[in-house]
Amino acid sequence: MDANASARLKKRGSAWALNVALFISMLIICLPGLWIVLNSLRPTVEIMAKPPVWIPRELSFDAYVDMFSGVGQGGIPVISYFRNSVIIAVTSTIISLAIGMSGGYAFARYRFKGKSAWFLGLMLTRTVPGIALSLPLFFLYAKTGLIDTHAGMIIAYTALNVPFTIWLIDGFFRQVPRDLAEAAQIDGCTRWQAFWQVEFPLARPGIASAGIFAFLTSWNEFALASQLTRSTDSKTLPVGLLDYTAEFTIDWRGMCALAVVMIIPALLLTYAVQKHLVSGLTSGAIKG
């Protein structure tokens, strides 16, 4: 009886400890983000205050207003950065989805010589560090006049996204049973029709999440963008973030506000696709 009671107590105690551990780790995950949101809303004086002010005394959206009216400290042209980011990320996502769909379909449906070698080769192009790739690209772009243009960034990001898009889309097409397309073809569809009418609708959620993944990669990329962009013509938000760092001072509040602006689209999109993303990437885990 006594042993039973103590065992029960011990079990409940360890369950509690584990819950506390979970709570603390969730807190650590959330804290940096919340800290930034909070600081984007308070005046710089309060951020710099010594001793620190823990509970904000006044909150204001000044930083955001400054940012979008373009007259904030230093007048950083956030609006054009935002526009560049959107144009570059959306266009390169669409192109890499088109390329990824044809490539992923090829890997999922056809047998050809050296298939796994091709796959590995495509993946390896992704491992090249952005900074290492930026050197020759910088040189080539400078020669061809692509430097500091939307087109140049779009081409670079498309190449960056294609391997991963192929991997994801391959996984999703593999989940669509082959028989369905074959049945459609027997019923008189051409292969092209069978693809668009049968296989594509079934794989659509997966393709959407591949697209969002590609969008996020372009949205967040820094190493290439920092070298291949020069002016407001093509600078993206991650590069623009550096504008807030002057020689010796940093406008913490402005930076925090810009950070929040950068995160929000990413946050919404990731939330929308989280389920498909994981299932797509792991579909190959067991079946191979």
CA–CA gap between residue 12 and residue 17 (Å, rounded): 9
- Does residue number 262 form part of the binding site for another protein (CB under 8 A)? yes
CA–CA gap between residue 207 and residue 231 (Å, rounded): 34
Nearest-approach distance from CB 204 to another protein, in angstroms: 19
Q: What is the DSSP letter of 58?
A: -
Token pair, residue 227, equals 């070298």
Nearest-approach distance from CB 278 to another protein, in angstroms: 5
Query: What residues numbered 96-115 form the site for another protein, per CB under 8 A?
Result: 98-100, 102-103, 105-107, 110
Interacting stretch for another protein, rule CB under 8 A, among 68-76, 160-168, 185-193, 201-209? 160-168
Query: What residues numbered 186-205 form the site for another protein, per CB under 8 A?
Result: none
- Give Cα separations from 114 to 13, 106, 110, 172, 213 (angstroms): 56, 13, 12, 21, 27
Number of residues this chain uses to bind another protein (CB under 8 A): 86
Query: What residues numbered 10-29 form the site for another protein, per CB under 8 A?
Result: 18, 21-22, 25-26, 28-29
- Does residue number 52 form part of the binding site for another protein (CB under 8 A)? yes
Query: What residues numbered 230-259 form the site for another protein, per CB under 8 A?
Result: 238, 241-242, 252, 255-256, 259
Q: Which of 3, 5, 45, 136 binds another protein (CB under 8 A)?
A: 136
Give the number of residues written for the chain. Answer: 288
- Does residue number 78 form part of the binding site for another protein (CB under 8 A)? no
Interacting stretch for another protein, rule CB under 8 A, among 69-77, 93-101, 176-184, 202-210? 93-101
DSSP per-residue string spanning 171-234: HHHHHS-HHHHHHHHHTT--HHHHIIIIIHHHHHHHHHHHHHHHHHHHHH--HHHHHH--STTT
Nearest-approach distance from CB 258 to another protein, in angstroms: 9
Q: Which of 3, 4, 32, 45 binds another protein (CB under 8 A)?
A: 32
Q: Which residues share a beta bridge with 245?
A: 250
Token pair, residue 155, equals 């081409």
- Does residue number 1 form part of the binding site for another protein (CB under 8 A)? no
Residue 288, SS3 per DSSP: coil
Cβ neighbour number for residue 45 with a 10 Å cutoff: 9
Nearest-approach distance from CB 155 to another protein, in angstroms: 6
Nearest-approach distance from CB 25 to another protein, in angstroms: 6
